[in-house]
Structure 1
Amino acid sequence: MAEAAAQTVLDKISQGHLECPICCCRFKDPKMLDCLHSFCLKCLEEMMNKQKSETERITCPVCRRETHVPGEGLHSLSSSFFLISLVDEINKQEKLLGTSLTTSATCESCDEGHEAVSRCFDCKVNICKKCQEAHQFLKYTKDHRIIPAEELDKSRVLPADLNKSVAPKCRKHIEHSLCFYCESCDILICSMCAATEHRTADHKYTAIYDAIGSFRESVDDIFQKFDKSKEQFASNEDSITHARKRLQKNLAQARLDISTKAEAEIAKIRNKAKRLTEKVDEIGQERDSEYDKALMHNRDQMERADQIVTAVSDLMRQADNFELLELRPKVMHNLEFQEELKCEPAKVYMAFIGFKCQDVVSDTDLGEILLKEKWQLKEEFGKEGTCDGEFQFAADVACFSNGDIVVTDTTQNRLSMFTSTGLYKTSVANGGADCHELEAPFRIAVTQNDLLFVTDKQKVKVFDRELQFVREFTPSADNAEGLPESNLGGIAVDKQRVAVADCGRKVISVHNLDGSLIANTYNNMADHFIALSNKERLILTNYEKNRLLCVDFKGNEVFNVMTLLNGQPAKPSGILCDDDGSIYVAPHSFRESFKTEVQHYDSNGAFIAIVAQGLYNPIGMAFTPAGDVVVADKHSVKIFKRM
């Protein structure tokens, strides 16, 4: 029973790890290619014979990567010593399963034919009594591990200690052990090599254990960078998917606009409408194809990278230190893929396609296909003043699902509500009877179920769609001695959470919609504006340091970029996140008489385009239910729509 189980284990090891992918038999003289895949030397030679005689490269049948064949031939490729030793050990263990050492084994160390009484675990041979005594006497073998016959016979199969590292001898100076690694030549050397061929200043060598430590650290660093690259690729794939969905939505809208206009012009423009529709479809297919290629490119890179990482990980886990250092050049060459990784970005601008109508006569086209997203001013209301519907300092805006717009005036400490077209409806101000002692309303945000969250000094107050008070909570309730005074700034909401930036204590707290705390994130950049991304991230602006940054809910920084106007640092204020994760920011430049604009960035903080220019002093921003952007522009409110 025990022997059958042991044989099964050996068979599984052989099939899973010790069979050549070409001949599907146990490895014989395995050679390793640059891609770290191993094959029998004979199998590689047969492959080369089938290729053109003048070729100097061999293609791996597993991953299709090419390996340069040295001038000396395939036999000069690196041998896979780990596989060789493992195959040898498995063969010997299988042999032991059928042969009892105490009954039939003879000494394999001498030619006397004496009965073996023990086994040398380091030499991997059965030895007789005299050879055992010689082993214990000789300098080079006295430390070998000797297993008595009776102990070996108890288990029949001796577990292989494949992780034990025995210092190999130098190939040039066979009496000396390898003890150094020459970083200049990328080879293992002995003390004699160090004193002769490698003694000049241009040779830098270190002790083996220092070299392997440094090597492992380098590999670990590359693995960590790769993990970050995987996160970026995953994030980018989400952005591409969202942009692709937006493309389909805009394509449908463009087709509808074209159809509506075509029907208005009746039969005489049907033909032109058809041609334009076909053009839209053609553009849509081309762009959709580009998105598909981007996704496939990124996935292919990740698949290839994962294969390399898996191969290197297996090698780092299985091979001994000397073998690792001998293979170091190939390993590091394979890990150069990290530097070659190129993530195809989500080209958000390509997701936009629209239709611009124009008056049509018989000799003109039905309209114009817009290939780039453009914005235009749709509505503007308000003016400087203190009366209803007027502003001293319109600092933030938010929109209810019915289109109503709420505006905070930080000079008048007032919340005002308007219709979607800018008609004044109502307001609540400091000390009003319906505002639950509203003191200084600052930033605002509206949830999907039309709850208005307002930061008011040290509290967050919640109102309904009629601006009636609902409840309140205190994000930074701890007032222990030594803590800075709480001063709530930015606020943002999504379907389940509300995030609040405390500018005084430099902390961002994330809460459930009922106010219960989920987590605190401490960040020295916490300022007056914050947004929640659909990627489980917090988007922040820091006005004084001209920064746009992104952190996850644990406070880990995702990106940190400088906002610019005409190539010069600019101070960002209001911030918005779209459903595809893209970001809208309003930077200010005081060098050019309050020149400001609204800019569009992708989900990774890369600048895309300018949305609107010529604003006076834009601060807070919000999306309307229709997807328009509402901007609080100090003395007025402006609404921009996509064309």
Structure 2
Amino acid sequence: MVSRETSNIEIGVDLDKCGICLGDFKKPKILPCFHTFCLDCLRSYVGKTGRRETFTCPLCLVETEIPRGGVEHFQTNFYIKAEQTKSLSKLDAKCEVCDTDGKRQVETRCLECDQNLCENCSKTHLKMTSSKEHHLMAVNFPDIHLSPEVTTKVFCDKHKSEELTLYCKPCDDPICLRCKVTSHENHSTMDLSDVAKEARELLGSKLSETKGFFPLLHEHLSDVNQYEEQLTQTKQDISKSISERASDLIARVDKISSSMLSDVEVEFRVEVSRIDFQRRATGKAGKVLASQVHAANQVVNFGSDAEITRNKESLSKRLEKLTKKPEDSDVPKLSLAFSPSRDSGTKIEDLFGSLAIKRPSVVDIKVAEVSIFQVDDTFKVVSSICPREEGEAWITSGWKPEIHLFKVNGTKLKTQNAHRNIDTIVFSNDGSMIVSSSDQRQILKGRNGLDFSEIASLSVHPRGIAMNTNNEILVCAGQSLAFQDYKEGHKNKVLRYSLDGKLLQDFNDPSIEFLYPLRIVCNMTGNIIVSDCQQRRITIHRQDGSLKFSYSGDDSANLRRPFEPRGVACDSRGYIYVTDNANDAVHLLDHTGKFVRLLLTTAHEIYGPYSIAMDSKNNLWIGCRDATVKVFHCTYV
């Protein structure tokens, strides 16, 4: 069962912390989307994730332009700085500027200069050219819990010495008195303070409406949690009913009951994974909404007349967008039901009962190209890709000894020599690298910088390998080194080994015969998927090896040539991805093996796809001919 991730949606949550380091703000910088971060945190984040001139906000993911000169030129959030500074206010503080003997009592503190100022020095400070636009915070509050009052003047960009005091209605922009008698001479104007008052009232109303959206999010989250509880209860009830029925018929029905329980468990795991995705998405929406409300409150309460007027449209539209309920927000639900048979027939299946499964509609997946790169300068196919948690992957090409570590953007980090030709790479639960050397007929373990030691020596050629839920090694074993050399009569199999090299069993179902199993993978349900390129099909097996389903292409895919599977991969929601070498395509199957659609085709410029892997960040790595790798990011919609 997928563990439930705690998701809280709180209106009064304290967001006066940096959204990156989660600590107190240091040199707070506010973005155009009204989210604020520490300068150093923002600089580091943009350095790691930014693209030439833009990056996405870490909280709301809005695309943001980097100012000319770098992130240092984002506007300082003086409202947050004022909140931090007010705790330093002292009733007996003295002016730090004037040279009077008695040192006049402080009235304000300049947030740019970090200086205490008396009344006379404050007036002088705002008249000086170098400091006329500084932000002065009133000090010596009667109540430290009150919001600090910040005073600032905003001057005309054209007439540098003129303060913005008017609002031009046709141009929808604050102007100064000189602008009024020159470029805006015949335009209708109003006092800027009156317009700002109206803007505050409008945005205040929008804020009230926005806060009313929180109960809807709470209700949606409650529905998701309640659905999971009902689904869990249904699963438990069905499992109990199936188990009781199986006990009555004892050994004769063990196989049937085991099969049905496995199917229920598979459906349950897939569905709970989808529920967890819904919960995280709803919780994230709540956090973004809460942070936006907090940021908007700061602008409305502390913004200057010019600032509130300039930002009213963008902030109003932003609040409206956040509170628009998605049309497809209702959660489609899985239907499970077990019906004990009342039939008195002689067949065990008729006596036992039936399991009815009605699945919700399939979630669509959108792909966006992330990168394309060459592994090396050969013309060999990329034979294996093994992702790591850090957005990196180990890659082999051309069945050579070199193993390369690449970042998702195509940057090569290092190359290691295994001193024997490598076919497939996987990781065990303890983080050890497990590899197959098909020509050396060995399974090896790499530790401490890929210092390989032998796990098992085989009489056949190990090709694809995978780790099952018991941390055992599943091996595609062929009597010939290449599938092109397959001959009738070859007994190619899937074998199961322990990590200490003990052969546990042949992995065969009497109902199916492997011709040349090439690649193998385990999905999140525990099922095992095998790619048989010679048989031109994908087979799905239970953990005991019994066959559940086989896929040999789909008529609706309109394939140009017969289905020719190579690599196979699975994601965290049970979907199966298969490279079709003959048709330059990637087939998308659901967790049961049912064809969903062609996810990638020649339109995505993948040619001769062979290996495939999905990393933890939903990046799909495709290894093709000519040592080429293409990476696509998958989004569930």
Report TM bin, short chain. Answer: 0.3 to 0.5
Q: Based on CA coordinates, which of the two structures has the bigger radius of gyration?
A: 1
TM-score by length of 2: 0.48
Structure showing the higher helix proportion among its residues: 1
